[in-house]
Amino acid sequence: MALRIVFAGTPEFAVPSLRACAERGEVVAVYTQPDRPSGRGRQLQASPVKQAALELGLPVQQPLNFKSDEAVAVLRSHQADLMVVVAYGLILPQAVLDTPRLGCWNVHASLLPRWRGAAPIQRAIEAGDARTGVCLMQMEKGLDTGPVLLRLATDIRPHDNAGSLHDRLSLLGAEVLGDGLKLARAGFSLHAEPQPEDGVTYARKIEKAEAVLDLAQDAAVLADKVRAFNPWPVAELSLLGERVRIHKAQALPGGSGQAPGSLLAAGKDGIDIACGQGTLRLLSLQRDGGRPLSAADYLNARPLPV
């Protein structure tokens, strides 16, 4: 059974899911955020989903929201069996959720009910979680509260940062969506498992101010923040009066007895900074206006007194 699918998404994370929906020519419309100014020239930039949709020859809709009767009427005109939503960036009113015959499915980058909300990938790494994954969820009006149809899990690897985990979960999201579509095409009703009340956490939006590391915290906590905030907003600290961005770091066990922020060592293996507990070894740094450098290359340009 063929499905008439409306797809709604905006960032790069959603592109593999769009391609999964479009494999059989079932996508009748693609909804994405309006073009936004971007870059130094502030020229209007199409979203990654819009760019992919145009490459695939799919019609694109870019309403500001669904508050008007006209916007909802246009959506209804597509006579969709299913609406698939992946990081769209708009809250959908009940009138939209009720429009497709099978309702709206959402691909969410966490193992719900943990990390509902805007930044589940970063918050999972920041919290030191060992595992995460993706859920295919039947949408309802609450924020990521709907019942889960399917899920796939993956380990968070020691060297994962938000960028590498984003890319892996993006592909897993397309995979779990593809599994759901196969079942729906075959006429099966997916079992909707309500989310438990126990274990609910919220992944609030990342703020740039969070990138400033507090060296009074444990080194292990700071190392997780460095991974969570790469590639954006990128962790930063003051290194002997110079603001540097930290792209890669590791926590070393054992205390130094020195005050947090003290420079302990600087060599080809890294730059060691005392923390509230343990030592943070800086492995990749970026000076203002520069590019990311290994600790050894940074020290070649700016030797540090130890």
Q: Would you list the domain boundaries of the chain? A: 5-203, 208-301
Q: Does 54 count as an annotated binding residue?
A: no
- In the CATH scheme, what architecture does the domain 208-301 have? Roll (3.10)
- SS percent in the chain: helix, strand, coil, step 5: 25, 30, 45
Rounded distance between C-alpha atoms, residue 163 and residue 170, angstroms? 11
Q: Does 37 count as an annotated binding residue?
A: no
Rounded distance between C-alpha atoms, residue 46 and residue 37, angstroms? 9
Q: Read off the pLDDT of residues 87-131 as tens digits, 9 standing for 90 and up.
A: 999 989 999 999 999 999 999 999 999 999 999 999 999 999 999
- 306 Cα distance to chain centroid: 39
Q: Checking DSSP bridges between strand 131-138 and strand 148-155, what pairing results, if any?
A: antiparallel
Supply the pLDDT for residue 41: 77
**Tokens of residue 165, six digits:** 């985990």
Supply the pLDDT for residue 305: 81
Domain 5-203 of CATH type 3.40.50.170: yes
* Below-50 pLDDT ranges, the chain: none
pTM over 0.85: yes
Q: Does 238 count as an annotated binding residue?
A: no
Supply the pLDDT for residue 107: 98
Phi, psi values for residue 212, rounded to 5° = -75, 115
Asked whether the beta carbons of 71 and 95 are under 8 A apart, the reply is no
Long-range contacts of 70-74 (CB under 8 A, 24+ apart): 72/96, 72/99
Contacts of residue 66, Cβ cutoff 8 Å, sequence gap at least 6 = 72, 75, 90, 92, 93, 95, 96
Q: Read off the pLDDT of residues 194-220 as tens digits, 9 standing for 90 and up.
A: 999 999 999 999 999 999 999 999 999
Task: Show the DSSP H helices in the chain as ranges.
Answer: 15-22, 48-55, 69-77, 94-97, 120-126, 162-185, 219-228, 295-301
Q: Does 113 count as an annotated binding residue?
A: yes
Peptide bond into 303 cis (omega under 30): no
